[in-house]
Amino acid sequence: MTQTTDGALAVNEAAVTTRRRFDPARLLQDQGLIVVVLIFGLVLSLLSPTFLTPTNLMNLLLQASTLGVMALGMTFVIIGAGIDLSVGGIPAIVSVLAVGLVVRGELPVWFALVVAIGVGIVVGLANGFAITKLGIAPLIATLGTLSITIGLAFAYSGGTSIVPVPDFYNLLRRANMFGIPINIIILAVLAVVTHFVLTRTTFGRSLYAVGGNRQAAEMAGIRTNRVILFTYVISAVAASIAGILFTARLASGSPQTGIGIELTVIAAVVIGGTSLFGGRGNVLGTVLGAVLITMVTNAINLLGVPTAWDRVLLGVVIVIAALLDVFRLRIHERWMSRKAS
Amino acid sequence: MGVVAESTPPLVHIEDVVKRFPGVVALGGVHLDLYAGEVHALIGENGAGKSSLIKVLSGYYTPDSGVVEIAGKPMHHSVASARSSGVATIHQERQLIPDLTVAENVVLPHWTPSGVWVRPGELQRRAAAALATLVSGVNLSAPARTLSPAVGQMVEIARGLAQNAQILIFDEPTTALSLAERERLFETIERLRASGLAILYVSHNLEEVHRLADRITVMRNGRTVESAPATEFTTQRMVQLMVGRDVRALPAVNEQLGETVLSARGLSRGRRVRNVSFDVRAGEIFALVGLEGSGRTEVARTIFGIDRLDSGEVWVHGRKVDLKSAASGIEAGIGLVPEERKLDGIFPILSVRENISISLLSWISRLGVLSIRKDRALARKSFTALDIRAGSTETEIGNLSGGNQQKVILARWMNRECAVLILDEPTKGIDVGAKAEIYVLIKRAAEEGAAIVLISSDLDECLPVANRFGVMRAGELAAVLERTEISKERIISIATGDHERTVA
Amino acid sequence: MKHTAKLLTLGAVAALTLAGCAAGPADGDSNEGSGDLGDVAFLYHTLEFEFMVGIQAGTEECSAELPFSKTTILSAQANSNTQVTQFQDQLAAGAKGIVFSPNVSAELVPAVEAANDAGVPVITVDSLVADGELAGSVTFDNVGGGAVAADFIAEALKDEGKVLELTGPQGAFHAELRHQGFIDQIGTFPGVTVETRDAHFSADEALSITVDVLTDDPDYQAIFVHTDGMLRGVLSALEQLGLTPGEDVIVVGLDGTPEALDLVRDGSVAATVSADPIAMGCEAAQMMAKVLEGGEGSDVLVPATLVTTENVDDAELWGNKPLG
């Protein structure tokens, strides 16, 4: 250290540490969920010989992928300290439009897709507008759009499913790359993109700031309203994509698509380490959360768990994942004190 | 000042207390004796261990080793036990429950002296009795949130007395008080001392310590450095012991001033800002002083753009600023270091690096994609330029001391080389050693050509550094004084309105 | 600026609501009748199933011919609380008769008793209530439906094989009866075993359960679903598993929806069991008119009809009739 003329101490720039100190807490957070997933998987494989077979694992991933896509979108919203319930209704309106416009309206498939996703974007904008400009609480605003989208889906379809679906969806359902179903590929791609956006773009950085301390973000010059608005659009688009995937999977344009899924999506995100208070969240956690929740259903199906117990099982798994959050702090401290001595 | 017979045993005897946390030693051997009927001041820099010691004494922390005796008996380390042993703590931030009434806040948690049923009349009487000696005219049935910080503080003292406290701990009690309220508090403390209570007074304000303390204990790095009667300390010595080295005097005033950079004209916003106009030149430090509530922070926020003006204009470098939001103020070259770091300044979960670059995202990115390399380089540069002390650039900013956090926020604006830098109470809650460093940095910014608006309640600090002084009163700029015309008394009299003269 | 924004939003919401109302069979409909028999309310527990939409269509068609003063049609969206509230509101509004499909039988008993106290006759359609006085009921023979399906499957399997039964929610009126009928009848065929799983009437769950169960144990020859809505889920599952419906596994549904009939026609579904919801809805409306005119109601059990490729084009099947 040398002294400069105005008396302040100056540190040699090269000596400043920029490498992140190995932070076991962060690692354990992600790894923690991996541990839960692995342990659960281990238990399942002992109870059911089918669990670890490649076929079942692929089925599991496939089943988890639509939930995963929606959870990725929701991750943005929750990092921004918001919440989006309308994801329980967007797949429905997207599904009926994507099929109905072709089957009843006799419009080309690509057009129907554009309109369907467009509707999703409009819902996202409506959510964002209601929340940022009108100051309506996210829970209320998205509850409203949830109800409206489901209602519109039923109104448009007449309450019934629209079948059969155009061939495009059958092709989509069967599509795969190197034997991996396309849903899984889509999830993987979106996960990578989400990770990139969150960690390597100005939008992502601004989002963490807005979610972590909205006031400070405003004072630092971030256009917080724009950031929040965008998160709701992202979530809605993710739900729209999921709606298309659901449509292909069940081969019907149904107003019941994705009904009731909103809380499961939020659960997947929160189990994955994203805090409902905002400012914290990561992609790996979200994907693992979706996988874990799907594993519970898989377990129920393979083991023949009686109906009443499936909710109990899901609840137990969620509580364990939450306990892990508490544990990781203690383990972090113990690790730190081992370092200090 | 009271005189304590030192032949009587101390009410609180603390010896060799050690408390460790993972990675840090909070207390490394503390000695302190507290006698009934005395005011014992505890001073030290931030991080010296004062709050850890308070937490040990109030039962919140259990020490790893050492002796803590109250009235001769070893202490049980629990909050309930400390309370029943007669320890009450008056915290810096109010600990009232806002929606309960004043009376309920005084008696809590003892809703009834015994039994199950709460009798409101009896509750009111107990509360009134406790409050009577401290403050009058308080509506016992009003919700606690309607109280001013000063009266709220009295309610907390009453709570302690209602619980038969023998030992009162005051933690930075004057930060939110006006001059008059401060005086009232001191009178109250003196009365409490006279009635035999033992008072532990923790404060950064060495003037207050001089005024009140019978004995003083200085802590540094978790240890007791010196504990002796107050008469044996000078301010110089106190600071020396606290910091461990000779603290540099505050930097001298910058003489090289350039052209006018900031022009504020007719700023008005409701009743808080009334037709305020002033100019600041490049390199100049313009101190905005006045009583709490006189509108200084409001002026800052309107110039910055985060609050809307009803009327008025702001010009930077001859160009009118379109004040739509903080973002537009920043575009125009204005930076604001806010008064409340935790609320408006830092992002507690993010790293130091991320906290620094958050105002400069467009500079370290291309087409929306961040360059981590540029981000790190910026952080490194800031660390060295401002001497930010943290484990690494990736440390969570919540782990830094107040002084270092403030430097991080300062770094945000200094990196942008703002034309105008507004600082709202920049040394609030920062220890003596770091305060000087902050002023060095402020002066450096001025020398590099920025126009500085410095809002400060500490006249001792800003008097030596500022070029001119704007005195605000009730939303108006009552006077603008040059260095040559100022004195503390003059400023205070203008700020309080005793003196109606304005300067041409 | 804020005011404009709020006005715009109000306008948009109003427009959307109007659009929703105009777009199709609404969840709330009120029609002026042609006569003076009094106001009658038709309270359906849900309109989210084609079957229920069929009942509503039947009700509307026949009510138009009957001398009610006013008919009100409401859906409770599968919420018992909502349905009880609708009951109370209608009684308060002066309804002279109530026809309803109970959401959960036990939970609607108090509502029925309230109507009894008010002297307002109550007729149930689609299922029954556990207690309370009913002027009549029109239900589908769920037990018989299950049995018909069982007979078909046992015959197709030649008395030998394993069946996966995907039911509705445990405790649901239809699910319980259909399961009962199916299991009892299958019990008469010793060579056939059944694995029962709860799919909550959901296509998505049917898909997930079918995939997992058959991955675990591919040795199933037939799949029976309690409602046709689940068929698509099962068919997608079989596709994912690489199995051909009709060849590797036969699929049987229940309800007789237009969609199911199409699937029977193209061979992917072997059979479904039809009840006529349009007739049921009509029957209920007519019975209410009779009761209000002083007559007696009764408990009508609508029989189950097996639908296979042989009779799938029968014009009398409700699935072949347009649903207005």
**Cβ contacts (< 8 Å) between C262 and chain A: which residues?**
163-164
For the stretch B141-147, contacts whose Cβ atoms lie closer than 8 Å and that sit 24 or more positions apart, written own/partner, are B141/B101, B141/B102, B141/B103, B142/B101, B142/B102, B143/B98, B143/B99, B143/B100, B143/B101, B143/B102, B144/B96, B144/B97, B144/B98, B144/B99, B144/B100, B144/B101, B144/B102, B144/B104, B144/B105, B145/B96, B145/B98, B145/B99, B147/B96, B147/B102
Does the CA dihedral B271-B277-B283-B289 come out positive or negative? negative
Provide the number of CB pairs (under 8 Å) joining chain A to chain B.
140
Nearest CA in chain B to A16: B380
Kindly determine whether residue C48 and residue A159, on different chains, have CB atoms separated by under 8 Å. Answer: yes
In chain C, how many domains are there? 2
Question: Which chain A residue has its CA at the smallest distance from C204's CA?
Answer: A250
**C308 in a structural domain:** no
Six-digit token string for A135: 């100051």
The contacts of residue C248 (CB under 8 Å, 6+ apart) are C238
CA distance A299 to chain B (A): 37
Domains and CATH numbers, chain A: 51-300+310-323 (1.10.3470)
Q: Is residue C320 part of a domain?
A: no
CA A137 to chain B, closest CA, distance in angstroms equals 21
Q: Which of A23-27, B141-145, B495-499, C262-266 has the highest mean pLDDT?
A: C262-266
Q: How far, rounded to the nearest angstrom, does the alpha carbon of residue A272 sit from its chain's CA centroid? A: 9
| Residue B237 CB coordination number (10 Å) | 13
Question: Cα–Cα distance between B184 and B195 in angstroms, integer?
Answer: 17
Using a CB–CB cutoff of 8 Å, tell me whether B358 touches chain A: yes
Average pLDDT, integer, range B451-465: 87
The answer to whether residue C62 sits within a structural domain is yes
CB contact under 8 A, C257 and A297: no
Are the beta carbons of B46 and B430 closer than 8 angstroms? yes
When scoring A6, A18, A215 by the number of chain B Cβ atoms within 10 A, the one with the most, hence best to mutate, is: A18
Residue A59: its pLDDT value, please? 94
Percent of chain C with pLDDT over 90: 39
Q: Is the pLDDT of residue B501 over 50?
A: no
Mutation target to probe the C interface, by most C beta carbons within 10 A, among A245, A250, A297 is A250
142-201 in B: which are within 8 Å (CB) of A? none
Q: Do C211 and C102 share a structural domain?
A: no
Q: What is the pLDDT of residues C94-105, one digit of tens each?
A: 888 999 998 887
Tokens for B167, please give them.
Answer: 């030992």
Q: Say which residue the tokens 């006569």 belong to.
A: C35
pLDDT-derived band at A3, boundaries 50, 70, 90 = very low
Strands C222-225 and C161-167: parallel
Question: C–B contact (≥3 CB pairs within 8 Å)?
Answer: no
pLDDT in tens, C309-321: 898 888 888 888 8
Examine the domain organization and report whether C183 and C133 are in the same domain: no
| Of the listed ranges B113-117, B168-172, C167-171, C173-177, the one predicted with least confidence | B113-117
Instruction: Return the closest-CA partner of residue C55 out of C69, C45, C67, C65.
Output: C45
Domains of chain B: 12-243 (3.40.50.300), 260-343+418-496 (3.40.50.300)
Is the same domain home to C198 and C118? no
Q: Do the beta carbons of residue B91 and residue B54 sit within 8 Å?
A: no
- Distance in angstroms (rounded) separating the CA atoms of residues B471 and C277: 84
Contact between B383 and B393 under an 8 Å Cβ cutoff? The reply is: yes
Query: Which of 63-122 (A) contact C at CB < 8 A?
Result: 63
- Residues B273-279 have a mean pLDDT of 93
Minimal Cβ distance to A218: which of B306, B350, B376 = B306
* ipTM value greater than 0.90: no
Q: Is residue C170 part of a domain?
A: yes
Chains that touch C (3 or more CB pairs under 8 A): A
Regarding whether C185 and C129 lie in a shared domain, the answer is no
Q: Are residues C105 and C254 in the same domain?
A: no
Asked if the C-beta of B301 comes within 8 angstroms of chain A's C-beta atoms, the answer is no
Higher-scoring residue by pLDDT: B371, A3: B371
Taking 50 as the threshold, does the pLDDT of residue B319 lie above it?
A: yes
For residue B301, give the chain A residue with the closest CA. A219
Q: Which residue of B has its CA nearest to A340?
A: B23
Given this model, what pLDDT does residue A271 score? 85
Give the distance from residue B409's alpha carbon to the nearest chain A alpha carbon, in angstroms.
Answer: 9
Instruction: Say which amino acid occupies A325.
Output: D
This prediction has a pTM of 0.77
Q: How far is CA A72 from the centre of its chain?
A: 3
Q: Which residues pair with C30 in a beta bridge?
A: C72
Continuous segment of H or E residues that includes residue C176:
helix C173-186
Nearest CB to C236 within list A130, A251, A298 = A251
pLDDT 10s digits, A140-152: 999 999 999 999 9
pLDDT in tens, A54-70: 999 999 999 999 999 99
| 3-class SS string, chain A | CEECCCCCEECCHHHCCCCCCCCHHHHHHHHHHHHHHHHHHHHHHHHCCCCCCHHHHHHHHHHHHHHHHHHHHHHHHHHCCCCCHHHHCHHHHHHHHHHHHHHCCCCCHHHHHHHHHHHHHHHHHHHHHHHHCCCCCHHHHHHHHHHHHHHHHHHHHCCCCECCCCHHHHHHHHCEECCEEHHHHHHHHHHHHHHHHHHHEHHHHHHHHHHHCHHHHHHCCCCHHHHHHHHHHHHHHHHHHHHHHHHHHHCCECCCCCCCCHHHHHHHHHHCCCCCCCCCCCHHHHHHHHHHHHHHHHHHHHHCCCHHHHHHHHHHHHHHHHHHHHHHHHHHHHHHHHHHC
> Residue C181 maps to which CATH number?
3.40.50.2300
d(CA B192, CA B198): 8
HEC per residue, B278-294: EEEECCCEEEEEECCCC
Label residue A9 by pLDDT band (50, 70, 90): very low
Instruction: Supply the mean pLDDT for chain C.
Output: 86
Which residue of chain A has the CA closest to C168?
A: A307
The span from the CA of C242 to the CA of C225, in Å, is: 20
C163 and C270 share one domain: yes
Q: How confident is the model at residue B482 (pLDDT cuts 50, 70, 90)?
A: confident
- C255 and C185 in a single domain? The answer is yes
In a domain, C208, yes or no: yes
Q: Is B167 a residue whose pLDDT tops 50?
A: yes
For residues C186 and C156, is the Cβ–Cβ distance under 8 A?
A: no
In this prediction, residues C151-167 reach a mean pLDDT of 94
Instruction: Report strand pairing: C250-252 vs C222-225.
Output: parallel
* Residue C200, domain member (yes or no): yes
pLDDT at residue A6, rounded to an integer: 32
Residue C218 lies in a domain: yes
Per-residue confidence (pLDDT) for residue A31, from 0 to 100: 65
Section A241-261 average pLDDT? 92
CB pair distance less than 8 Å for C197 and A53: no
Amino acid C10: pLDDT: 63
Same domain flag for C88 and C149: no
Please list, in sequence order, all residues whose beta carbon lies within 8 angstroms of the beta carbon of residue B234, skipping any fewer than 6 positions away. Answer: none
CA dist B423 and B451 (Å) reads 11
Nearest-Cα residue of chain A relative to residue B307: A219
Show Cβ contacts of residue B143 under 8 Å, excluding neighbours closer than 6 positions.
Answer: B98, B99, B100, B101, B102
Whether B370 and B364 have beta carbons less than 8 Å apart is answered as yes
Q: Are residues C206 and C134 in the same domain?
A: no
Q: Indicate whether B437 pLDDT > 90.
A: no
Give C-chain residues touching A250 at CB under 8 angstroms: 203-204, 207, 232-233, 236
β-pair partners for B215? B40, B229
Region B360-389: mean pLDDT is 90
What is the average pLDDT across A324-333?
A: 66
Chain A interface disruption, residue of B350, B367, B381, B438, most A CBs within 10 A: B350
Over 90: is that where the pLDDT of A88 sits? yes
- Contact (CB, 8 A) for C53 and C25: yes
* Number of residues that this document lists for chain C: 324
Judge: A216–B345 Cβ closer than 8 Å, yes or no. Answer: yes
Q: Which residue of A has its CA nearest to C7?
A: A134
What is the C-alpha separation between A220 and B356, in angstroms, rounded? 10
Helix, strand or coil, per DSSP, at residue B470: strand
Kindly state whether residues C189 and C214 are assigned to the same domain: yes
Can you give the residue range of the structural domain that contains C154? 142-274
Kindly report the length of chain A: 341
Q: Kindly state the DSSP code that residue C33 receives in the 8-state scheme.
A: -
In this structure, the strands spanning B12-21 and B65-70 are: antiparallel
On the 0-12 / 13-18 / 19+ scale of CB atoms within 10 A, B80 is exposed
Q: Clarify whether residues C136 and C218 are in a common domain.
A: no
Task: Tell me how close the Cα of B444 comes to any Cα of chain A, in angstroms.
Answer: 9
Pairing mode, if any, of strands C299-302 and C136-140? Answer: parallel
Residue C198 lies in a domain: yes
Average pLDDT over residues C251-274: 92
Query: Does the structure show a pLDDT above 80 at B474?
Result: yes
| 3 state DSSP class of B334 | strand
pLDDT, average across residues B362-368: 89
pLDDT at C11: 59
- What is the SS3 assignment for C168? coil
Instruction: Identify the closest residue of chain C to A156 by CA–CA distance.
Output: C23
Phi, psi of C174 (to 5 degrees): -65, -45
Q: Is A305 on the interface with C (CB under 8 A)?
A: no
CB contact under 8 A, B347 and A206: no
C50 CB neighbours in chain A (<8 A) are 159-161
Check if the beta carbon of residue A254 is closer than 8 Å to that of residue A97.
no
Q: With beta carbons under 8 A apart, name residues in chain B contacting A8.
A: 387, 437, 440-441, 444
Looking at the structure, tell me whether residues C136 and C281 fall in a common domain.
yes
- Cα(A84)–Cα(A82) distance, rounded to whole angstroms? 7
